[in-house]
Structure 1
């Protein structure tokens, strides 16, 4: 066992360590396996809850508001899928001691590496935009206009990261995201029919229309986000986890998947029992953050909007601060370019240029007038779902490569589940794209 045990990361879109390149180290004597388990388990649950960012809140709220309890079964399946994918990544990190970007660069031809990294960049770029849209939406609830809020947020975030001081404020943003635990209380106070909740959780109900398919793809994209796979493997490498002490990490992966999706399910239950029920079962299309905040009204009353805004602001700032810089690290590392916040513009032009571009893109798009906030966040989650198959098949290739993983490759049953997930996600993405393309030619296979 190692003499030094690094503390687990506590923020889930990406740790502040991604900004500095280092994690804090706690010195001490040899830890027992139970202490290691506690060190890995607790923060994993906090990280999972913080992962419900702007696009996640919008997607889960829309699932409940539009379709009631009918899509709860999706979250049950996604819990298993999320655990499977992240377990493969953590295992690769423990066996190889390398991040996913490094393995992709070392094991794929240059063109295929570029394709995978481009896919990753598109997915992350969409998430960065969604976080700035979330920031502006939250500030609008405090009556701060986007033309003031968006540029100020961009400047503050750029300055914090460039100065390496984001760690100091990250915990504040993380604390604000705990507001979303109010969904648990609000769901019970709304007194849903728990029989219908159970039915919706375990009996699949499918609507054959494009809106349902978009929401389904968005749910996949926001729950099993491509960037999370790169993050979780990097976290394992940073902590120096090996297969000798891997079991606690496996427990953390699956428990975090369960917990994060319980939070998501309660968001769906809460919006179902309030917004969907009040629509007479016809479903409500959420347009902005204020609509989503009304699901908390049974618990928070007239303060629901402002407390929801604080949580949304914290979750969005948390992701918007670390995700762009972490994206830049992954892309430049995969392409063998100079990187690091300690380097100047002259030393690492691609790194700082990409980082600044992502921030500016998020600021500019979030400032556009009359944005349909929830629809944009749904579409960006859907983008993640469309590009996810590329990342999944790259992971499956690497984790089954014996020269890389030795006897730690997937077993037959695990492989069947993993490939089944990749195929299903691929078919959903292809189906949605096909429907959209055919729609351009006036061919509508499904209703709206």
Structure 2
């Protein structure tokens, strides 16, 4: 696949410095060096530099993908395991491929053009098409911000603290972190919290699932035309390939000043982040399917926490609460930021988390409005699990619109030049986006026919 990556390796961050001709570090005499094979010393140094480089660049791609494992994501994956045990696993393998493709295209657009996706849509398409894209983004993201704050409230209610106390506190906290310029540090903390969901792979093993069934469902489709199964399938698309993730990933690499020479690092970050997030998602389904599979739809966060009981025992709810808090807080900032980036890009005004309110009033004003709206609605009486799942269904319906824009932009040589999609990548990505679109349209048709009493 030709992605036009010429020259990407030159000057890339984290490039290891080779040893001198004697195979020793600069300033160290050959006789003082440890008696170790030169090839082994070189490998150790390269490996250390690669790890440090990844830790340094891990950012927009990893954060955007991991933000997908938020409150709504956990609820959706847990419901998939609870309702259908392992039957959605093959579907998740396909969704993982889609996520890898679109995340890679998003960061490639950002690094090679220096512009976010919304700005490129404004430049390359008509005003009406731009308005359609922005409407879809606003519609999907507004519901999702509510879900994230509801997730923060649910995390604290698991440990006996009222959501009416913590949601306003976290709304002010997230707002302050972004507006006053300390968000870059906070996102690492939230990401660290959300990594408690690494307990799911352990839980999946300790729950002793039927691994033959797991393998069968991973390798072969076990789909159903049942409307509930289709609804959940679209929700899985929405929570795994959420439009805000691509918008944020592209805008964030631009905000960081990444250019074409940084593409290799940004691409690795995007792809590894997507794969990591999807592995965790699959493990959530396996762990939930093995522990409470067949019980039907979930009604509460406590039920979802049951999947961690093989790992944490009585502390399952606490472990789940910590992970849910980190994931929800991370996405609670990323989602409104993606909206603010998109609209500010389309209008053509200043947008950056490093700016002050007077320097980027629209960008930070939009972020502030969404935080206030999301926190306010999350304080109303709602069925948390149903709210979370239906926001993902909405994401799944809206996602094809944004994915089609991204695909067209990444195909155009007038936009990316030699970095545009090669023939094989273009065909693969087109099939993937078409499949997501068909799934969403099928759900819409089924829903409309149901309202008309024809199904």
Structure 1 Cα separation of the partners of residues 267 and 337 of structure 2: 27
Structure 2 vs 1, CA of residues 334 and 385 (structure 1 numbering), >3 Å: closer, same or farther? Answer: same
Structure 2 Cα separation of the partners of residues 194 and 423 of structure 1: 32
Structure 1 Cα separation of the partners of residues 53 and 333 of structure 2: 25
In the comparison of the two structures, how many residue pairs are matched? 414
Instruction: Give 1:311 deviation, angstroms.
Output: 1.0
1:355 aligns with 2:367: yes
* Alignment correspondent of 1:106: 123
Decide which of 71, 81, 94 is 1:64's aligned counterpart. Answer: 81
1:223 aligns with 2:240: yes
Decide which of 215, 230, 244 is 1:198's aligned counterpart. Answer: 215
Matches within 5 A, 1:396-435: 396-435=407-446
Structure 2 vs 1, CA of residues 315 and 6 (structure 1 numbering), >3 Å: closer, same or farther? Answer: farther
Structure 1 Cα separation of the partners of residues 257 and 173 of structure 2: 33
Decide which of 347, 365, 374 is 2:377's aligned counterpart. Answer: 365
Task: Report if aligned partners of 1:63, 1:71 keep a CA contact under 8 Å in 2.
Answer: yes
Instruction: Give 1:238 deviation, angstroms.
Output: 4.5
Structure 1 Cα separation of the partners of residues 14 and 138 of structure 2: 29
Between 1:159-168 and 1:306-315, the stretch displaced more is 159-168
Task: Report if aligned partners of 1:36, 1:248 keep a CA contact under 8 Å in 2.
Answer: no
Task: Report if aligned partners of 2:145, 2:370 keep a CA contact under 8 Å in 1.
Answer: yes
1:263 aligns with 2:280: yes
Task: Report if aligned partners of 1:56, 1:223 keep a CA contact under 8 Å in 2.
Answer: yes
Instruction: Give 1:34 deviation, angstroms.
Output: 9.2
Task: Report if aligned partners of 1:5, 1:239 keep a CA contact under 8 Å in 2.
Answer: no
Secondary structure of the structure 1 residue equivalent to 2:310: helix
CA-to-partner distance for each residue in 1:27-48, whole Å, 9 max, x for gaps?
xxxx989946862478369644
Structure 2 vs 1, CA of residues 270 and 206 (structure 1 numbering), >3 Å: closer, same or farther? Answer: same
Structure 2 Cα separation of the partners of residues 356 and 246 of structure 1: 31
Between 1:62-71 and 1:43-52, the stretch displaced more is 43-52
Structure 2 vs 1, CA of residues 183 and 339 (structure 1 numbering), >3 Å: closer, same or farther? Answer: closer
Structure 2 vs 1, CA of residues 431 and 201 (structure 1 numbering), >3 Å: closer, same or farther? Answer: same
Q: Say what the alpha-carbon RMSD is for the aligned residues.
A: 2.8
* Alignment correspondent of 1:79: 96
Instruction: Give 1:93 deviation, angstroms.
Output: 2.6
1:116 aligns with 2:133: yes
Matches within 5 A, 1:182-193: 182-193=199-210
Instruction: Give 1:385 deviation, angstroms.
Output: 0.9
1:315 aligns with 2:327: yes
1:304 aligns with 2:321: no
Matches within 5 A, 1:90-169: 90-169=107-186
Structure 2 vs 1, CA of residues 301 and 101 (structure 1 numbering), >3 Å: closer, same or farther? Answer: same
Task: Report if aligned partners of 1:49, 1:263 keep a CA contact under 8 Å in 2.
Answer: no
Unpaired runs of 5+ residues, structure 1, are 8-30, 277-281
Structure 2 vs 1, CA of residues 287 and 315 (structure 1 numbering), >3 Å: closer, same or farther? Answer: same
Decide which of 318, 325, 328 is 2:337's aligned counterpart. Answer: 325
Structure 1 Cα separation of the partners of residues 138 and 210 of structure 2: 42
Instruction: Give 1:283 deviation, angstroms.
Output: 3.6
Report the TM-score when normalising by structure 2: 0.83
Decide which of 26, 30, 53 is 1:39's aligned counterpart. Answer: 53
Structure 2 vs 1, CA of residues 32 and 406 (structure 1 numbering), >3 Å: closer, same or farther? Answer: farther
